[in-house]
Chains A and B, each alone.
Chain A
């Protein structure tokens, strides 16, 4: 008699889907149970702002297909609206609502991350929004369709900027605020951030930096937000885009090793046997530092899920690690950030002849450790891959095509060499 093994996947976003698919591709018989706290197909959080802006329809937020199709194609059990209350990792047991317990051979934690609202007392019940889930997107869209004249966006980062863009497109008077003193505080240098802020102001957005939101009250016809710098603002609604946090309330931190997310090795294994983690709830290798880091991105989630699923199914696979990188396009601006901008080192700045695009970088030990690029998406990939390449092969120069693309864009030899160009 065959012993049919079972796997539980907790959470059903990109990582959970990719893990389930990898298990099924390698093992046609294994029982795969998905635990989801919603009744929706996997959605891409990045697409929520594009949906509200009208660039895509609702279905496009779910790029992996609808639940029924996924269920049929992968032959998996999807337990909708069935959150896991507690995970006893060493026993590989899930505790569910009503006291039910289920044990599995292997478990993948793929619960993603949720939007964080700063701790503000007595937040009003109306007019407060976040932007992370498909449901958040529908809710904001309904509000905007109802007629909104003014808005405050809290958090001058990647999500906040896209929310600002869609509000401005609708002709809504918008205030963007952040407790930090600059735009993109975790991914932009001060000088680049100042250019970004000035451009936004030029497009009619009020930018209030160094101003943490400290209170919100309902004043009848609108909301009144107050800030740490003593200022205040009135708006019809407030959208909190102030960051995300891994959804890990159900795990026992005495069992699982957790930093920002669950710490994993390159096989996506947690510190407890048969427990894996993937996607926006885990940490894994940052190739530039050699240490674990929290780098939540859709493509990373897909690869990490695939690696976890393959290994569970007995097909050895490993994740190559990643580096911190972001690209965003909004209001005629391309902003690219690669590496850790907080790294120590000398700062260099270069602007193309004619001012079409610019680059700012940190040089550590004679090499570029991180950089910002404004308005040249074409070099983003070659530059990111040059840094990945250098991390894997420190002694080899960067590829000839990366050099050509940079050189053809006018970047001086000195900067190309510090990226790892020939002769460096």
Chain B
């Protein structure tokens, strides 16, 4: 059963709850220079054009994830739910996945090993929502089965806005 991550940009208010929940779930310590997996921010329109945007960004678990073939030592793969997961035992810290990822999702620990959002695959396995989705107060972050996603796909989908 494939799961799909998305963000409804019409509902996101960039409150940051998702980023905090993600750091808590993954024991990320920014004070020791660890980079959080999820980033939140706003984009102000420039004079004469554009729209104000609120965003929360992490791995989008792309269907044809470009990070997977980019990794020279095959650390990245798809799990049975279509989430892009990793085993960084062999990671050499070469940054090839960073060059491939349109979302800037891979981060690197002090020892050079890559880490990223794994879609809270263990939480999903036990019937829980990913931490970021669980705490989103506006329901902007989504992690749904493909079938359910098709039914309620947001009109302001980050996936669509990001289609490259």
Q: How large is the interface on A (under 10, 10 to 19, 20 to 34, 35 or more residues)?
A: 35 or more
The secondary structure that dominates the B interface is loop
Tell yes or no: B41 within 8 A of A by CB: yes
Give the contacting residue for A401; candidates B50, B102, B108; CB below 8 A: B102
Q: Interface code A346-386, partner B: CB below 8 Å = 1, 0 otherwise?
A: 00000000000000000000000000000001111110110
Question: Given the complex, which residues of A lie within 8 Å of B39, measured CB to CB?
Answer: 404-405, 408
| Residue pair A401, B99 in contact (C-beta under 8 Å) | no
Give the contacting residue for B43; candidates A55, A328, A400, A417; CB below 8 A: A400
Question: Given the complex, which residues of B lie within 8 Å of A329, measured CB to CB?
Answer: 93-95, 112
CA gap between A50 and B90 in the complex, in Å: 11
Give the contacting residue for A400; candidates B73, B106, B162; CB below 8 A: B162
| Residue pair B43, A377 in contact (C-beta under 8 Å) | no
Tell yes or no: A303 within 8 A of B by CB: yes
Highest count of chain B CB atoms <10 Å: which of A47, A55, A401, A423: A401
| Residue pair A399, B73 in contact (C-beta under 8 Å) | no
| Residue pair A50, B102 in contact (C-beta under 8 Å) | no
CA gap between A63 and B162 in the complex, in Å: 31
Within residues 34 to 77 of chain B, which ones have a CB less than 8 A from any CB in chain A? 35, 39, 41, 43, 45-46, 48-50, 53, 55, 57, 66, 69-70, 72-74
Within residues 16 to 42 of chain B, which ones have a CB less than 8 A from any CB in chain A? 35, 39, 41
Question: Given the complex, which residues of A lie within 8 Å of B41, measured CB to CB?
Answer: 404, 407-408
Question: Given the complex, which residues of B lie within 8 Å of A60, measured CB to CB?
Answer: 73, 90
Tell yes or no: A299 within 8 A of B by CB: yes
Count the B residues whose beta carbon is within 8 Å of the partner chain — how many?
41
Give the contacting residue for A403; candidates B43, B72, B74, B90; CB below 8 A: B43
| Residue pair A63, B158 in contact (C-beta under 8 Å) | no
List 18 interface pairs A-B (beta carbons < 8 Å), by A numbering. A44-B72, A60-B90, A328-B95, A329-B95, A378-B98, A380-B99, A381-B102, A382-B103, A384-B99, A392-B164, A400-B43, A400-B53, A400-B161, A401-B57, A404-B39, A405-B57, A408-B39, A422-B49
Point out residues on B near A: beta carbons under 8 Å. Answer: 9, 35, 39, 41, 43, 45-46, 48-50, 53, 55, 57, 66, 69-70, 72-74, 90, 92-96, 98-108, 112, 158, 161-162, 164
Please list the 10 inter-chain residue pairs (A to B) with the smallest Cβ-Cβ separation, ordered nearest first. Answer: A385-B102, A381-B101, A377-B98, A422-B50, A327-B99, A423-B49, A378-B104, A423-B46, A377-B95, A389-B164
